[in-house]
Chain A
């Protein structure tokens, strides 16, 4: 038990180092990238003197090291700073974007896993059949299709053609929760289909690896039913690569749904990051990337923990 606690602490220490590196790298990249929030805010009429004046007002003319110190000090106090453009704390801006991103990620991954696991398993079990070949072809197509194109097609068919779903947005004022979720159906399907391709291929490959193992053959020889052999003996042992790829997909969806969020006009975290980059809203870029990195690290940590649950041979 003490060993586990020690290993956990080691992991948490590693996570802290990763996040400290992210904080520093993001701060430097944002500052050395050309572009100036003051110039964006003042519009095309602004003269260099106007821009310089606003930079002073915003504190952007302070030495880099001072700005970095203030940023780190803020983080330690749980303060990610104040958005230059939104006129609200970065934490508030992120919190208001969390709902669509959370549910979009959840629905997308449920759709992806809902398609990928059964199809991947069946494809492995029926290796070499027409079904398997169709699955391999379709997953290749799905992996190659850009999610924005698929999104536009879904909009044309189900929003414009059938009128079943809204084309974009996350609802207006006083939109009830269910109606807001209704706005997420098409983007979740678009992302779910694209993500299912990778998970299907990993599931199929992992299952093929274990289906040829001696213990599977032994289980069959002992008269275990096909379902029991596949689900209990084979799938359980194939789960590690599958969990890894699902974990990676979830982590990527948190911030990687940028294009889909843009196409569907969803006010999620990805959209916030894109807007912040275009406007050079430094505090939002820094705060959002730090939060996303923290989620990424956390998901990886959870995946590592799941390895132990799935396979007791894995040690921390």
Chain B
């Protein structure tokens, strides 16, 4: 009797501490379950999605993306003044902005931060090759002089090019101090990253619009908690432990919807899956064979296998989805049908000798693997011999750097603010897409100064991409996440953000 009473008391005590935890969570704290621990908080060095998601609350960039993914001012006071030759950008800076350490934000911080970005960030390094000089123009403006016109400049200044105090800029960051609405309080790897409201925050003006507009730190604290197991994120959300759970499996959609405690959130066209082809070495150096791959594949079947239900994906030959400023049907050929006869014809013309096509994919992203399985079936139906190699993501990223190791690898990306920042378009990105017609098309884009001229130039680039076939666009996918009932003000974005979000009472 005594023993059972003790057991009951212990259970009651344990249950009591749980209720206490729940009450604390509702006291102005947002608990966000993420897919894992960020490898670092240095977003210049490691510009991955999880780092960008957390860091955007701490750091800010000169520009940011609005709902159309156009760059609009954030720490900049206005759009830049561009010289007539398109080579000099004068960027005015907002005044009265403070860093989390209390110091004032000024032009010196911008030049120091952008120099670090151009030295260590992949996109920054590309920009560095065309930057002639970067200088301060008084305390509240900077001047960037270019060697040649560079249309994506503002888009690249809208992502990982974060601004930090000049005194804190160093090779290996030890202090994570920005101007954002939240400041870093504590990071316990694999346990939590704790951000607290920055009381000295000065918000940009305007209605909230994607990442642009007014930012208000309503929750006093945000806790990013790594929860690598997707099912645990679902259960934690439903049980009320998490206010937001990122990247939920599509199979959990109904369970979350019916739970009564949380609701599923769909972010349309979060990204696109692609198969990148090796143009430097191996089988697919021959263009007709790459075109045979295009003709052989059925985009809808691959996406259906990967995402189960057409609520979670769409198939569209345009590299950018419908609704995007960059959406265009220009040049779309050999897309989506899965035509083994047409592919077989191309194989014959190219004199395919039965060498196995090495298709590299990973199970770290289950949809990559499923796309790979269906692609294998379609490619074999067209006459290719396929060697599907399933490895972990770290192995894939190493192997793809060696042109001897592979013919196709499967990956995914978001839709960038500027189309020419798509990785495949870069000469040095694995796949090594180098072609004269691409160089000309990209040069035309770089010279464009108006949106209309850029759009026309992008039509040209997409046409060339379909002809050269450096990649096969599989389709667009939607991201599913979950939000606890009672949390309000959340607007889905590619990198989920939690300013302007009110925690549950």
1/0 contact trace for A43-57 toward B, CB 8 Å? 111111111000000
Per the bound structure, the CA–CA distance linking A50 and B128 in Å amounts to 14
Closest to A268 in B: B190
Per the bound structure, the CA–CA distance linking A44 and B398 in Å amounts to 11
Tell me if A87 and B235 are in contact (CB < 8 A): no
Measured between beta carbons, the chain A residues less than 8 angstroms from B31 are 172
Closest to B423 in A: A45
Tell me if B232 and A264 are in contact (CB < 8 A): yes
Tell me if A47 and B122 are in contact (CB < 8 A): yes
1/0 contact trace for B378-421 toward A, CB 8 Å? 00000000000001111101110100000000010100000000
A49-B428, A278-B393 in contact; A169/B239 too (CB < 8 A)?
no
Which residues of A from 253 to 299 have beta carbons under 8 Å from B?
262-265, 267, 271-272, 275, 278-280
Q: Name 24 interchain pairs, CB-CB below 8 A, sorted by A.
A: A34-B394, A34-B399, A35-B392, A36-B394, A39-B397, A41-B39, A44-B48, A44-B397, A45-B122, A85-B39, A97-B190, A163-B15, A164-B15, A166-B18, A167-B235, A167-B239, A168-B227, A172-B31, A173-B185, A178-B17, A265-B229, A265-B236, A278-B394, A280-B394
B238 interface residue, CB < 8 Å from A?
yes
A206 interface residue, CB < 8 Å from B?
no
Tell me if A263 and B241 are in contact (CB < 8 A): no
A34-B398, A46-B122, A173-B194 in contact; A167/B18 too (CB < 8 A)?
no
A86 interface residue, CB < 8 Å from B?
yes
Closest to A165 in B: B18
Closest to A84 in B: B39
Nearest CB of B to A281, in Å: 9
Nearest CB of A to B248, in Å: 14
B430 interface residue, CB < 8 Å from A?
yes
Which residues of A from 152 to 169 have beta carbons under 8 Å from B?
152, 155-156, 159-160, 163-169
Tell me if A169 and B186 are in contact (CB < 8 A): no
Measured between beta carbons, the chain B residues less than 8 angstroms from A85 are 39-40
Tell me if A40 and B394 are in contact (CB < 8 A): yes
Interface centre among B17, B122, B225, B364 (most CB of A within 10 A): B17
Tell me if A172 and B223 are in contact (CB < 8 A): yes
1/0 contact trace for B29-47 toward A, CB 8 Å? 0010100110110000111
Nearest CB of B to A68, in Å: 20
Closest to B395 in A: A34
Nearest CB of A to B55, in Å: 13
Which residues of A from 179 to 199 have beta carbons under 8 Å from B?
179, 182, 185
Closest to A164 in B: B15
Tell me if A155 and B232 are in contact (CB < 8 A): yes
B1 interface residue, CB < 8 Å from A?
no
Interface size class of B (residues with CB under 8 A): 35 or more
Tell me if B125 and A169 are in contact (CB < 8 A): no
A211 interface residue, CB < 8 Å from B?
no
Out of B125, B225, B235, B394, name the residue touching A156 (CB < 8 Å). Answer: B235
Nearest CB of B to A170, in Å: 6
Tell me if B227 and A40 are in contact (CB < 8 A): no
A159-B239, A173-B185 in contact; A164/B392 too (CB < 8 A)?
no
Measured between beta carbons, the chain A residues less than 8 angstroms from B14 are 164-165, 182, 185
Out of B36, B236, B240, B430, name the residue touching A48 (CB < 8 Å). Answer: B430
A39-B398, A263-B229, A280-B394 in contact; A167/B236 too (CB < 8 A)?
yes
Tell me if A87 and B429 are in contact (CB < 8 A): no
Per the bound structure, the CA–CA distance linking A152 and B235 in Å amounts to 8
Tell me if A41 and B45 are in contact (CB < 8 A): yes
Nearest CB of A to B338, in Å: 27
Known contacts A159-B235, A170-B191, A267-B188; can you find 20 more A-B pairs with CB under 8 A? Answer: A36-B394, A39-B394, A41-B45, A44-B48, A47-B426, A47-B428, A159-B239, A159-B241, A163-B19, A164-B11, A166-B18, A166-B236, A169-B191, A169-B227, A169-B241, A179-B20, A263-B229, A263-B232, A275-B190, A278-B392
Tell me if B21 and A166 are in contact (CB < 8 A): yes
B201 interface residue, CB < 8 Å from A?
no
A250 interface residue, CB < 8 Å from B?
no
Nearest CB of A to B363, in Å: 12
B123 interface residue, CB < 8 Å from A?
yes
Closest to A34 in B: B395
B503 interface residue, CB < 8 Å from A?
no
Tell me if A93 and B189 are in contact (CB < 8 A): yes
Tell me if B18 and A168 are in contact (CB < 8 A): no
A96 interface residue, CB < 8 Å from B?
yes
Nearest CB of A to B165, in Å: 19
Measured between beta carbons, the chain A residues less than 8 angstroms from B477 are none
A140 interface residue, CB < 8 Å from B?
no
Which residues of B from 233 to 263 have beta carbons under 8 Å from A?
235-236, 238-241
Tell me if B235 and A182 are in contact (CB < 8 A): no
Which residues of B from 64 to 86 have beta carbons under 8 Å from A?
none
Measured between beta carbons, the chain A residues less than 8 angstroms from B231 are 152, 263
Per the bound structure, the CA–CA distance linking A185 and B18 in Å amounts to 12
Per the bound structure, the CA–CA distance linking A97 and B189 in Å amounts to 10
Tell me if A155 and B235 are in contact (CB < 8 A): yes
Tell me if B239 and A34 are in contact (CB < 8 A): no
Nearest CB of A to B51, in Å: 8
B466 interface residue, CB < 8 Å from A?
no
Per the bound structure, the CA–CA distance linking A54 and B94 in Å amounts to 34
Tell me if A173 and B192 are in contact (CB < 8 A): yes
